[in-house]
A and B are shown apart, each in its own frame.
Chain A
Amino acid sequence: MKNLVKINTERCKSCGLCVHACPKKILGIGEFANNKGYYVIEMKDQSKCIACAFCALICPDLVLEVYREEKGA
């Protein structure tokens, strides 16, 4: 994988802000419900992620962590 978005599913409240903010439209509300009963977001296509971190910026619940692949030296 080029870049990585880690999702802390237990903190997700399904607010949809990250889905809205993602410029590549690769996040979506999934079908898995966490312990609080929220349908958590899921990464639909990690290969298209540009690690802009817009999702993590707009997430109010510290659900998302974004990593970028280091380019070769």
Chain B
Amino acid sequence: MKAILTKTTGLTDRPFHYCPGCTHGIIHRLIGELLEEMNLIEKTIGVAPVGCSGFCEHYFSCDMIGAAHGRAVAVATGAKRARPDRFIFTYQGDGDGASIGLAETMSAAARGERITSIFVNNCIYGMTGGQMAPTSLIGQKTSTSPYGRDAETMGYPLDLPKVLTQIEGAVYVASVSVDSPQAIKEAKKVLRKAFQVQLDGLGYSFVSILSTCPTNWGVNPVEALEWLQTKMKPHFALGELKVPVVRGGNES
């Protein structure tokens, strides 16, 4: 029989602790598969955030470093400058990358750091129990915006990938989602390109992935996909928002 989709060596055997239907697991698998397919596992150092995916050091088969909240991109910068021959990615949630870590994300982009950031945006802070995130939508009820996010006092959701397209050192910026098998296939293609941009030494690559949080949105996993499709997608720019002038390698 021909294997169509089997377990990747890019992930360990440890069962994921994530909530049922949480899309972190899908994204982990895409990364693991790419590390395996692109022969990167032994050369990779991943940097984990603080958040639900703060334990992902145990899920990827490559060497991993656990960073402080928001500092994964700084840690990755330090590691990459120390070992430019290694493939280094950060994996961060919306708080880690766009709130407490916003300065580090944007500064690394400005410097054109040869690292790849994977930004998992579910419009909420999951690990700490469902507080408002910088990406939370106007009117969205969270535990710290119990009456709904009010633009007057709490500002507007931040579309970080859109902002990063303005930074010269950020040479590949994409925004995808994992709400359907088709979207997942597209997300993997985009991640592969982002990885290749790093391998080609072109600059900072950033992939934002719209994701679900059924538990804190208060819906079941299938409803969460719909919430993502109908409520989130209209508010965030989607697609390959910026590509390098010199295309990043082939798609073998």
Given A4-B1, A16-B220, also A62-B7 (CB < 8 A): yes
Give the distance in Å from the alpha carbon of A16 to the alpha carbon of B180 in the complex: 13
Q: Tell me which residues from 53 to 71 in chain A have a Cβ below 8 Å from any Cβ of chain B.
A: 53-54, 56-62, 64-70
Are A51 and B4 in touch, CB under 8 angstroms?
A: yes
Q: Tell me which residues from 1 to 20 in chain B have a Cβ below 8 Å from any Cβ of chain A.
A: 1-7, 11, 15-16, 18-20
Does A14 sit at the interface, judged by CB under 8 A?
yes
Does B56 sit at the interface, judged by CB under 8 A?
no
Are B22 and A53 in touch, CB under 8 angstroms?
A: no
- Which one of A59, A60, A70 lies within 8 Å of B2 (CB-CB)? A70
**Chain B minimum-CB-distance residue to A21:** B181
- Which one of A10, A62, A67 lies within 8 Å of B29 (CB-CB)? A62
Are B1 and A58 in touch, CB under 8 angstroms?
A: no
Are A58 and B20 in touch, CB under 8 angstroms?
A: no
Are B24 and A67 in touch, CB under 8 angstroms?
A: no
- Residues in A with CB closer than 8 Å to B3 are 65-67
Shortest distance between the CB of B58 and any CB in chain A (Å): 14
Are B181 and A58 in touch, CB under 8 angstroms?
A: yes
Q: Tell me which residues from 1 to 28 in chain A have a Cβ below 8 Å from any Cβ of chain B.
A: 3-4, 10-11, 13-17, 20-21
Shortest distance between the CB of A39 and any CB in chain B (Å): 11
Give the distance in Å from the alpha carbon of A58 to the alpha carbon of B184 in the complex: 7
Are B25 and A65 in touch, CB under 8 angstroms?
A: no
Give the distance in Å from the alpha carbon of A51 to the alpha carbon of B6 in the complex: 12
Shortest distance between the CB of B189 and any CB in chain A (Å): 13
Are A60 and B5 in touch, CB under 8 angstroms?
A: no
- Residues in B with CB closer than 8 Å to A53 are 4-5, 181
Give the distance in Å from the alpha carbon of A6 to the alpha carbon of B27 in the complex: 21
Does B26 sit at the interface, judged by CB under 8 A?
yes
Given A59-B25, A60-B23, also A68-B1 (CB < 8 A): yes
Are A64 and B15 in touch, CB under 8 angstroms?
A: no
Are B1 and A65 in touch, CB under 8 angstroms?
A: no
Given A16-B222, A65-B7, A66-B3, output 16 extra A-B contacts at Cβ < 8 Å. Answer: A13-B21, A17-B221, A20-B222, A21-B181, A57-B5, A57-B181, A58-B178, A58-B180, A60-B16, A61-B16, A61-B18, A65-B6, A66-B4, A67-B3, A67-B6, A69-B1
Query: A-contacting residues of B (Cβ < 8 Å)?
Result: 1-7, 11, 15-16, 18-26, 29, 178, 180-181, 184-185, 214, 220-222, 225
16 contacts between A and B (CB under 8 A): A13-B21, A16-B221, A17-B225, A20-B222, A20-B225, A21-B180, A38-B20, A54-B181, A57-B184, A57-B185, A58-B178, A61-B15, A65-B5, A67-B1, A67-B3, A70-B1
